[in-house]
Structure 1
Amino acid sequence: MESIPQLTYVENFLSPSQEASLLEVVDASPWLDDLKRRVQHYGFKYDYKARRIDESMFLGPLPDWAAGVASMLDQQGLFRLLPDQLIVNEYLPGQGISAHVDCEPCFHDTIASITLGSSCDMDFTHVDTGEKRTVHLQSRSVIVLHGESRYLWKHAIAGRKSDVVDGKRVLRTRRVSLTFRNVLLGS
């Protein structure tokens, strides 16, 4: 499969013990049931229906555990600015997310998503040409969208219970994603 310009994918970004610790702290935190999947917001709450974010949505600084992961992303050169917003999404087998480009006036040009738990395919579609590509997200990996991959490719996760990886069917289990961004205010 041909790569997507300005997309960075890092396998084993986290160790198994880091993954287990993060899942433990996430599961001890309150979930919101605003969507078809459970979510948690940190830093700023994003309004999915209005597709907007502003100063009134500030929830406070990232908690220590999330700030530590944001710092790892920054230290490894995956972000130009230290992330200040995090959305935690829970996907049960059969759940996905429709094709989208993250809100352009809401967030800076870099978005990183860490996969905890189950692996899954993330599908990309070029907004102009309709060309399709797929990236298999392994557990403990991080995918970073920047530039062209951020703005010119929609990303989605099909709502299914398995993926075909190297010719073999792989059942999905519970996946938790940590999606880090930087909020654009006053634009």
Structure 2
Amino acid sequence: MNQDGGENELCSLSPYIISNIPPIIYYIPNFISEDDELYLLKKIYEAPKPKWTELLNRRLQNWGGIPHEKGMIPDTIPQWLQIYCAMVEKLGIFKNCKPNHILINEYLPGQGIMPHTDGPLYYPTVANITLKSHAVLEWYRPIGGENTSDSSLNTKVPETSLEARNFARILMERRSLLIVREDMYSKYLHGICEIKTDIIDDKVVNLSMCEGRQIGDKLNRDARVSLTIRNVPKVMKNNFLFGRRR
């Protein structure tokens, strides 16, 4: 997608809406160029080792501050990340807010993340840029709750097993942008399975937007790096947290 042009209004994103799922997810293939991808990966891997946080199933970098219910203490976002925040901001998805938080995750083949929602600390929209390798994002109904009877999902009773609650998959290709808003952000859970090969099936709801892909394809994962770009509305105006100066 051209970063120099385009309208700021959300109507400009209408060609990228994924249909046949609750509102609303946009999928934009080739949002950044190959040169952008190489540049970002170079900068990410040049970060000093202490910037990485090691988790059991992945490692990550946090930029912009640590979100907290009492308010995020803002931290500097480097210029090399601000460039891509600005590209996302121009789409108008955060309305009058600016992206102020970026989480960079690295997933090795076989690594993933359990089903979850992003929670109330963030503005209810998230944008994700995928680098280096694809991923398949799984979507799940929660256990119980009124949205288990959503007619668009063709279900009438609560289901407890994870497999039964899985109603959609989204293939996130290299250099693509995924935007999640509204019900898909607040009501439904998303996760990435801990497998090394993804098999494309009829649950992949954006298959028609992925050139050259078809049902039955087997896609081997490489190490994937993702940029999760969000807005944290509640930001502290000074360096105090719990009454202590940081």
Between 1:67-76 and 1:30-39, the stretch displaced more is 30-39
- Alpha-carbon spacing, 1:161–1:131, altered in 2? closer, same or farther (3 Å): closer
**Distance (Å, rounded) in 2 between the aligned partners of 1:131 and 1:97:** 15
Aligned to 2:80: 65
The root-mean-square deviation of aligned C-alpha atoms, in Å, is 1.8
The residue identity in structure 1 corresponding to 2:111 is Q
Aligned to 1:91: 107
- Alpha-carbon spacing, 1:18–1:4, altered in 2? closer, same or farther (3 Å): farther
Query: Cα offset for 1:36?
Result: 2.9
The residue identity in structure 2 corresponding to 1:179 is T
Q: What are the superposed Cα offsets for residues 98-123 of structure 1, whole Å, 9 maximum, x if unpaired?
A: 0001021x101111111001101100
SS at structure 2 position matched to 1:114? strand
Q: What are the superposed Cα offsets for residues 7-38 of structure 1, whole Å, 9 maximum, x if unpaired?
A: 11111111111011001100111322145311
TM-score, normalised via structure 1 length: 0.88
TM-score, normalised via structure 2 length: 0.68
Counting only pairs closer than 5 Å after superposition, residues 137-176 of structure 1 correspond to structure 2 as 137-165=172-200, 166-176=215-225
Q: What are the superposed Cα offsets for residues 99-155 of structure 1, whole Å, 9 maximum, x if unpaired?
A: 001021x10111111100110110011333235100000010111111111101111
Aligned to 2:65: 44
Q: Of the candidates 120, 124, 143, which is equivalent to residue 139 of structure 2? A: 124
Q: What are the superposed Cα offsets for residues 31-68 of structure 1, whole Å, 9 maximum, x if unpaired?
A: 2214531110000124xxxxx4544x525231111111
SS at structure 2 position matched to 1:173? coil
SS at structure 2 position matched to 1:32? strand
Give the structure with the higher percent strand.
Answer: 1
**How many equivalent pairs are there?**
179
Give structure 2 stretches of 5+ with no counterpart. Answer: 1-18, 149-164, 201-214, 236-246
Aligned to 1:15: 33
The residue identity in structure 1 corresponding to 2:123 is H
**Distance (Å, rounded) in 1 between the aligned partners of 2:228 and 2:188:** 17
- Alpha-carbon spacing, 1:4–1:175, altered in 2? closer, same or farther (3 Å): farther
Counting only pairs closer than 5 Å after superposition, residues 21-36 of structure 1 correspond to structure 2 as 21-30=39-48, 31-36=52-57
Q: Is the 8 A contact 2:138 2:166 kept in 1?
A: no
Between 1:90-99 and 1:144-153, the stretch displaced more is 144-153
Q: Indicate the percent of aligned positions where both proteins have the same amino acid.
A: 31
Q: Is the 8 A contact 2:24 2:182 kept in 1?
A: yes
Give structure 1 stretches of 5+ with no counterpart. Answer: 47-51
- Alpha-carbon spacing, 1:117–1:8, altered in 2? closer, same or farther (3 Å): same
Give the structure with the higher percent helix.
Answer: 2
The residue identity in structure 2 corresponding to 1:98 is M
Q: Of the two, which has the highest radius of gyration?
A: 2
**Distance (Å, rounded) in 1 between the aligned partners of 2:141 and 2:94:** 23
**Distance (Å, rounded) in 1 between the aligned partners of 2:223 and 2:47:** 17
Please list every run of at least 4 consecutive aligned residues from structure 1 whose deviation after the TM superposition is greater than 3 angstroms.
52-55
